[in-house]
Every structure is written in structure tokens, then in C-alpha cells.
A and B are shown apart, each in its own frame.
Chain A
Amino acid sequence: MERGVKNKQDFMDLSICTREKLAHVRDCKTGSSGIPVKLVTNLFNLDFPQDWQLYQYHVTYVPDLASRRLRIALLYSHSELSNKAKAFDGAILFLSQKLEEKVTELSSETQRGETIKMTITLKRELPSSSPVCIQVFNIIFRKILKKLSMYQIGRNFYNPSEPVEIPQHKLSLWPGFAISVSYFESKLLFSADVSYKVLRNETVLEFMTALCQRTGLSGFTQTCEKQLIGLIVLTRYNNRTYSIDDIDWSVKPTHTFQKRDGTEITYVDYYKQQYDITVSDLNQPMLVSLLKRKRNDNSEARLAHLIPELCFLTGLTDQATSNFQLMKAVAEKTRLPPSGRQQRLARLVDNIQRNTNARFELETWGLHFGSQISLTGRVVPSEKILMQDHICQPVSAADWSKDIRTCKILNAQSLNTWLILCSDRTEYVAESFLNCLRRVAGSMGFNVDYPKIIKVQENPAAFVRAVQQYVDPDVQLVMCILPSNQKTYYDSIKKYLSSDCPVPSQCVLARTLNKQGMMMSIATKIAMQMTCKIGGELWAVEIPLKSLMVVGIDVCKDALSKDVMVVGCVASVNPGITRWFSRCILQRTMTDVADCLKVFMTGALNKWYKYNHDLPARIIVYRAGVGDGQLKTLVEYEVPQLLSSVAGSSSNTSSRLSVIVVRKKCMPRFFTEMNRTVQNPPLGTVVDSEATRNEWYDFYLISQVACRGTVSPTYYNVIYDDNGLKPDHMQRLTFKLCHLYYNWPGIVSVPAPCQYAHKLTFLVAQSIHKEPSLELANHLFYL
């Protein structure tokens, strides 16, 4: 049920045609600059006859039947329909061939001898371009994957029969695919991406026994509850997942429960009858899972009792994710290089075409599985990094830390009055670090004076009290060397110094400073962060547009109160795009849509006016954190807010606005073919044809490198554009902006303002939980 709703949201976006309103790209949205590069994709042609149509029928039953399963069985058993391609959910029936009559009456007999009359009425004839058809195509492919004996878990399909084992960590991975069918540009394409489900080769019962042996019986129930409750389990008899919400120690498998038809049966007998499984331990307690309620259903919560022996643990615990060896082993298997991905795709296609059932299903619908799509992308020229008195052409845009080592940064305030808080144990590292920091900071042109060092006890309260006592209006920055990564240290310090008493702060783990060989590079990184926090600028790229303001917006849910949305907005305030105005607003709504953009934009434009004595001629907004199905709200709700703030702030000339939705997760993957194998495409690869959508002004940009595995492109969708920049220029500007994130001397996967907004919202959502003081808004205090 829920799945259907989710899918509908995906298709909702497709009906928002933003491109037709943008005159300059209505005819052509592709760029032309850069070096062409041949790319292979994970998309496949799906062919069907020109006059292909879908027929939608409505089916009613007399007398009415509640059971969906029974409805389907009765209809499918009918000879009239048995050899037709069909999709049926109990009420709506889709056929690829028209029935002879507009209204067809059928009757069937149930096992109990009851005669049921079924009336099938034609409702609509749908052309292949209809969004409903896309939905049906997706249903067809889900059926096909099931026929290849794959199981749907969540939204993806997995193959339990070919697990990848990691025996040393008791893990097994089920290989699988995320699939979808939709229209790209003009063609219907099938896309598939490799996915893995991590399972533990351990049943809950085995886990309990092991725990009992380790801890003994005293307090066993509590430790057991503590460890198990909240985990997700998978029952292999039906390949479904459940969350453990409770453990019922009073119920045993030999107890009875009431089936839906009202008869009583013991759990042991039920599993024997239903799945032919014999439960061996008759004294185990039962796991309790709270079943998801159907929408608008105010009935009592439904509980499912599960037998620990039959439940397998899934996913990784926190303990496991912090185990480096384990994560490495998992990554080795799951992060497939492009060639591995290509192989798996080829096998999937092969299976679909060879499996007779799957082929039959496709053919009866009149579909034909075609070839893999190759297309031509372009690699835009690499960018030069502008330093204070030096222009540097990095060897690789992925990391230019070595290239700029000898250069001075653009602009740095000198750090005269600052504090270091450390504990007794960390004092030595603090001092050696301070020396190192001063050395590296000096060479980058950032003058760091001696701080006042305050030694405090090792507890969060002592740190906070010392901060309260020693921070006064002249202090430029507080550095805290934290004895442990206990979250309260960081949270309490950040909370106090971001809102109660706004002073930039820098927290460093003592453990980080103990890594001897790394001291220089750690100090360099921290020095860069510190410069930014007190208003410095590190580097720039050449921006050909004068008077351009770029804005990044991201949203995030607050970690403490789930009904609070944290909206982070960051805007550049100088033409060189090196200084930023950042603001975070908390809003009490359930939706992921920002309704405070006007407040922010007005503030940002005032700041721009203050520094540049004019308003920006152009404003480009990058909006991240947009979920499926939200495009309409964005176009109708957020864009007008932005427009009104732009129009309201100036009387004579108004700034021109563009709004671009940025998505890090997207279905397509691109590979370059080289020496008869496939590889990741180079940095700066732009794709703006074939894998894009006809109704949108969109493109893909690869602005990150994957050292292991396959790189994922970032997807950009320009939903509003007054600026009328050529697609070429829009793409290159976006690429340039990916170079400006000051927390990493290299290119990042999204434009810098988005990354800043993300960092800000994350800090507020995780640690501060309230709006940071506006006094900090002119600095990148959240880096």
C-alpha cells in the first residue's frame, strides 16, 4: 500500500514541466563546450509498437469480497483472461489488449461453492506516454524480477540464492538491483543499479544464547532487550523484514494465537502448516513487532509475534560500523568498480531474456528489451585555483593540497586573542600542536598569536564553565581539545558558543592530535578551518560573471524533536564568491519545504548591498534536500518566496533569479570505455542528453572521484531561470562552484553553497537545536 503511494510521488514530479516556461532552452538545452567523451550507461532501451495502448478496467464483485487474494484468484482463473497480459490490484485491471465488450460479465465459483459475479467495465484507454503507463511498466518489471526468483525488500530486489559470504564477520550479502522504468528525453528506458542487502548469518536465538553464555542469567532479560530492541530482522520463510519493538518473555512457541479466520493455532503448528518449518526450541520467548498501520486507519496497533529461531539479524550495528576491518571487507564486496557493475548488468539482462517466464511476460505485454544506451558526454575544462599571489593549476582537481602548500591564502585576519581549553592529560599534545599550527599557519599567511591555555578537568561541565568564565567580547576563537568523542562535550560547547555567547569555536579530539606522523597535515587542515571561522578566505576560482550571488539551501530534521525542520541558507556576499552569509532557521512544520526564505534572502541582499553598494545583478539558488514528489511544492511555494524577496528589495532594477534543484542520488551511472574495459568518467564530465528528461532543463555533472567503486553523478534540474545563461555557462558555473568548499582542498560533489548549507544544518540539527546567533552569520563558523 505504502509502496504504491511512494511510487505515485515519483511520477508526480514528471508532470511538472518546467522547461516549457524557460524560453532560452525550449529548443535546445545541451551545451557544446568541452571535449566529447563516449559513455556507457546503466540504461536500456525498452521498445514497444507505435500504437501500443493500455486499457484500464474497473472490476466489481457481487457479492462483494473483502479478500484481495481471493478477488485476484477468481479473476485470474477465468479462461477469458488467463492468457492475456494483465496487472490487477483487486479493483483496477490493466490489459494491453482490449476486451471485446465494453462491459464484460463473468462468474466464478469459490471453493466453498459460492457463485460470484464479476463485472469488468472499461474506464480508460491510455496512450503509452501517460504517467499511468509508467506505473504499469514498473509493475511489469517487478513481476519479471520476481520471476527471476528475486525478492523485494524495501524498494529493491535481491537474490537470496547467490549470496556473497563474508565468513570471518558472519555476514552475507544478497546481491540485488534497484530498478525503474521511465521516460528519458524521448525514449522509454529501463534502468538498473546494483544494490546489496547486508545480512548477518546469525538468528536472534543464536544471538540470545551467545549473550546468555557471556553475561550469565542475572539481568539477562534486560541486556537482551537493550541489545536487540530496535534492530531489524528478516524472516527467510517469507523474506520480509520486521523491526523488533519488544520481547514478550511470557509467550512461548507452544502457545496459541488467533488466526484471522478466528481459529486458534499454536505457533509451532502454524509454521509447520504454513511454511513446513519445525521449530526446535519450544521455550524461546517471542519477538514483538509493531506492524505498520494502513493510512487513515485509527484502529488499534497490530502486533506480530515472531520466533527468534526464524529471525535473522540484518544491517550492521554501531559496533560493527566502527570496526574498520569489517567495513573494509564489506566495502570490498559492495563497492563494485565500473567493470564489475557492467558485468552484473549484463547478467541481469541476460537472465531477463533467457528466462522463459520473464520473456513470456514481456512479450505478452508487447514489450521488447533492447540494447544498453551509450551516449556522448563532454568534459569541461579544469579550473585554476587562485591564491593570493599565485595562480595554480592543480595536478588533479580531486585534491590540490600539495599544489597550494607553498602559496599564501587569499585573505586572513590575524588571530590575536584566543583560548585553548585542554585537560591535564592533553596539555603536552596541545603545546606541540600549537607550535605546529603556528608554523603552518605562518606559511599560509595566517598570523596566529599565542593563546591563553586553560587547563580544565575532563568533564563537559568543566569545559563549559571554563568557556563561560574566560570568553569575553575580545576573544576571537576558542579551541577545545576534547579528551573523548563523547557527544556531550561537543554539543554543550557548540550550543553555548553558537547562541548564548556567539564566538567561533574549534573542537579537536586529543586522539587526532596524537597521530604523530600526521601532525603537519592535521595542523594545516585545522589552520584553514580556523581562518575561515574568523573570516578568512582561502582560495577562489575565476568567475566570469560580475555581480553574481550564489545561494545554497538545504533542509534537515532536528535530531531531538522530530517535528522541527532545520533550514540552512548560505549566500555569497562578494563577486569573487569567497565570503558567505549563513543563516539557519528552525521551523515547526512536518514538510521538507522552507517557508522562511524571504527573511533569509532579504538579509542576504542587505549584506550584499552593504559590501558592494549595489544589488547583485544575478542570483543563482542551489536547493538541495529535495525528496521525491516535492518538485511541485518547490515550484509553487519556494520559488515565489525567492522571487518576491528579490523583487521587494529593489525598486528600480530587480536581480535575475535562477533556481536549481541539486540531487546527489540519481539512478543513472556513467562509464567510459577504455582498452576494452569500462572505467569511471573523468572529473568535469557533463551529460545533458538522452539520460535527461524532456520536460526539464537538467544535466548530470561528475564532480567527485571515487577511489574505490563507481562514481555517482550529481543531478541538476533548473526549475526556474530568469538569467538566461546558456546551458554551457550554467554547467561550467556549477562546476566552478564545486571547487569552493573551504573544508576540503579539492572538488566536492555538490556546489559549495549547498555543502555549506548542509554542514550548517547538520550542526544545528545534531548539536545546537536552536538558531545560531546572527553575529556569527558573516563567518563560516560551522566548518
Chain B
Amino acid sequence: MPNRKASRNAYYFFVQEKIPELRRRGLPVARVADAIPYCSADWAKPVFTPLRRPGMLVPKQNVSPPDMSTLSLKGDQALLGGIFYFLNIFSHGELPPHCEQRFLPCEIGCVKYSLQEGIMADFHSFINPGEIPRGFRFHCQAASDSSHKIPISNFERGHNQATVLQNLYRFIHPNPGNWPPIYCKSDDRTRVNWCLKHMAKASEIRQDLQLLTVEDLVVGIYQQKFLKEPSKTWIRSLLDVAMWDYSSNTRCKWHEENDILFCALAVCKKIAYCISNSLATLFGIQLTEAHVPLQDYEASNSVTPKMVVLDAGRYQKLRVGSSGFSHFNSADQEQRSNTPIGDYPSRAKTSGQNSSVRGRGITRLLESISNSSSNIHKFSNCDTSLSSYMSQKDGYKSFSSLS
């Protein structure tokens, strides 16, 4: 409970987060009380903090950069190397309480993650949900259609529940010893727990997994780092973002091919991305492709095939060299430097051309450029090389082949 003490209001946390910055400025602040006079002005102006350009992957500004001096390095190291498993199991809807079978497990996703390494391995499988209780076909169909869209029957990718569970166990517990804790979002916990128990019943393997919530994990990491508890709203906003929805190498192959957002694997990977993006950066970790889907943004900074930026201002003679568009210019420059044939009009650079090149002609020219096979070829190569890099890196081929 964040606000147990009356003194710990939003302003308290605000000031606390400001302290490292004030220290860097050389101000003598030891406690929150010392820092208050320096923070009042900042508090009064609206804080504008959302993550604007995902490509830049800036840490959220409402969390201050790490202050390594205040932390015991040893504790950090243990936290950074600690391995977590994020697990999710999808069901064909939820059946009413009077039914013995409450869920019909149909897809499972799990990732192995550490703050230091990012996603180390992933596991994914479709599950054969078994016979749908008579009379609930519509209910299940509707639930599936509104989310993951996995067919409720005759889906040849579905694996036997016992096999899936065995494979999951092998994934999270390859060697004898203690079982690691498993995490899922609190909203999903009932379902995942029920499904695990149900599958265990079917397979006669008994292993009670300890299922914890990601929210508590975030609280734990935050607490260990900053010795205080973050707000529930902050955690929710941290975990509930749409920006990775379409990232490549996030959904399972089937959901990617059918362009469906709801995928059990994607849920787990997105938890990893969110934690990397908001928490790992606080530990001063350099984000890699294993932390967040960087490759998307790198690839798109250097022109994805067929994405062309046009400046409609070329029609207009008057608006030459306007200064308001500086950020666009820089984007243009990036583009230009990365494009094989980069000489289409960009307002800042080639303003002289504007008067001479007008109308549709230029559009057609650009289309031919963007459609040129060499371009596409180049980038499709780039994609595959990246993904092969990924799969080599994770080193858990035996498991990725299971999915």
C-alpha cells in the first residue's frame, strides 16, 4: 500500500525522485525535506513524461536515472542476474461457476528472463483443449473470436496437454534442484493456475509450481533498488502499453502470420520488454535485442521497404526553409543517408528544386524507387539475419523447436 503513511503523498515521491538529480547539480540534499525548496518550481509546472519516440527507448523520466553510489553493488548483481519465468496460458473463454471445467487451455507461452540478459529463451505451444462441454460451443467460440482467434476444434497444431506440460517443466526446470518462481499478470493468475492444475491432472505429473504476480515482482525490484514502494497505478501504466503490439519476433508464428494481437507468447515477451524498458535501464544496463525489439526501430530508421516520406510542401514555393520542422528534417537526413538513392526533395535541403519538380511526376518516380526490387531484397535479408542471430543467441534450440 503506497500511501500508508500520511506524509508519503505524490509530492513526496516526486521530490524523492528528484534527489539524485539535485545531488548531481551539487546541491546539499540528504533527505526529502532538504530537497523540497528546490523542487517546488518543477512540481508547479506540468510534468510531461510519456515515452514519445519508442525508437529512442529513453527511460521514463518519471523514474530518475540510477544513482549507483547509494546502492550496494552486491545486491544489485544478484538482482540483475536473477532469472524469472513469465508464463501465460490462454483459454477458450471462461465457463460459468457451476461448471466443473472452468477453462479450456489452448495456448501456452513462457519466457526465461533476467534484467542483465533480457529474454534468454522462450517456450510456446498450442494446447489441445479437449472436448468442449456440450452446449458451450458458442460461448467458447465467441470468446476465442474476440481475442486470440485460435480455432476451438480441428486445430492440428494443438498438442496433447500432458506433453505440453512435460515440455514446460523441462523448459523451466532442466536440471534437478529448486524450482524457480513463475510469474504472470495478476489478472491472469486464476486462469493460469487453474489450467496448470488441470493439465497436471490430465498428465498425472504432480509438481506444484509457485505462481506469483508480475506486479509483485516489479514492486520487489523497485523496492530493492530504491528502498520504497511504487504506486499501483505506476505499475499498471508500466505493464499496460500498446507500443510493442506489432513488434517483430514477439508473437508466435501462427499469430504473427494471421496478424492477431492476442498471443500467449507475446504477453510474456511484452512483460519482459516493459520491465527492460522501465526497470533494467535504471540499473544502467545497455538494452540489447534480447531486452526490447530494437531491431524494428533500427530497421525502420533506415527505411523499411515501401515506407516513403513525402513532403507535401514541395508544392509550395513560399514555405522554404521554415524552422518549425526541424525534427522532420533530421528524420529526413537520416533517411537520406541510409537510402540507396536518396535524392528526393526534402524541404530543408533541396528547397531550390521545389519550384522545378512539381506534381505527380515525382510521386511516380518515388514509387518506382521504393518498389525497386533491390531495396526490398536488401531489407528482407536484413530481417532474416537478425532473426537467425536471435535464435542462435538464445541457445535453447531444443525448446524453441518444441513450439
* Chain A residues packing against B (C-beta within 8 Å): 222, 225-226, 229-230, 243-248, 288-290, 293, 298-301, 303, 416-417, 420, 424, 427-428, 431, 434, 449-457, 459-462, 464-466, 468-474, 488, 492, 495-496, 499-502, 559-560, 770, 773, 775
Contacts and interface: CB of A to CB of B under 8 A. Distances in A.
Nearest to B305: A457
Nearest to B146: A560
Contact of A470 (B153, B296, B309, B360): B309
B367 A424 contact: yes
Secondary structure of the A contact surface, majority rule:
mixed
Given A434-B312, A488-B259, A492-B242, 19 more contacts: A225-B137, A225-B141, A247-B137, A301-B96, A301-B99, A450-B312, A450-B315, A455-B306, A455-B309, A462-B306, A465-B246, A465-B296, A468-B55, A469-B55, A469-B301, A472-B52, A472-B327, A473-B52, A501-B52
28 contacts: A222-B154, A226-B141, A229-B137, A230-B142, A246-B135, A246-B138, A247-B137, A290-B135, A300-B98, A303-B134, A424-B367, A427-B363, A431-B312, A451-B312, A453-B309, A454-B308, A462-B304, A462-B306, A462-B307, A466-B307, A468-B55, A472-B53, A474-B324, A492-B242, A496-B245, A500-B241, A559-B146, A560-B146
Nearest to A461: B246
A589 to B, nearest CB: 15
A230 B363 CA distance: 49
A459 B48 CA distance: 31
B50 A500 contact: yes
Contact of A500 (B146, B243, B308): B243
A430 B257 CA distance: 29
Contacts of A775: 48, 50
B307 A456 contact: yes
A460 B261 CA distance: 10
Contacts of A431: 312, 363
Given A471-B52, A501-B52, A299 B98 contact: yes
A472 B53 CA distance: 6
B242 A499 contact: yes
A311 to B, nearest CB: 15
Contacts of B154: 222
Interface string B130-141: 001011111101
Interface in B297-354: 297, 300-301, 304-313, 315-316, 319, 324-325, 327-328, 331
B246 A464 contact: yes
A420 B242 CA distance: 21
B403 interface: no
A488 B307 contact: no
Contacts of B98: 293, 298-301
A434 B245 CA distance: 30
Contacts of A299: 98
Contacts of A559: 146
Interface string B21-62: 000000000000000000000000000101111110000000
A460 B259 contact: yes
Contact of A229 (B52, B138, B311, B325): B138
A455 B370 contact: yes
B312 A453 contact: yes
Question: Which of A247, A466, A501 counts the most B-chain CB atoms under 10 A from its CB?
Answer: A501
B136 A246 contact: yes
Contacts of A468: 53-55, 243, 297
Contact of A244 (B138, B305, B313): B138
A454 B300 CA distance: 13
B149 to A, nearest CB: 11
Contacts of A244: 138
B309 A288 contact: no
A237 B198 CA distance: 43
B312 A455 contact: no
B103 to A, nearest CB: 15
B240 interface: yes
B325 A461 contact: no
Question: Which of A299, A462, A502, A775 counts the most B-chain CB atoms under 10 A from its CB?
Answer: A462
A222 B137 CA distance: 12
Contacts of A460: 246, 259
A453 B246 contact: no
Given A290-B135, A299-B98, A300-B98, A474 B327 contact: yes
Given A461-B259, A472-B52, A496-B243, A452 B310 contact: yes
B242 A500 contact: yes
Contact of A465 (B136, B300, B309): B300
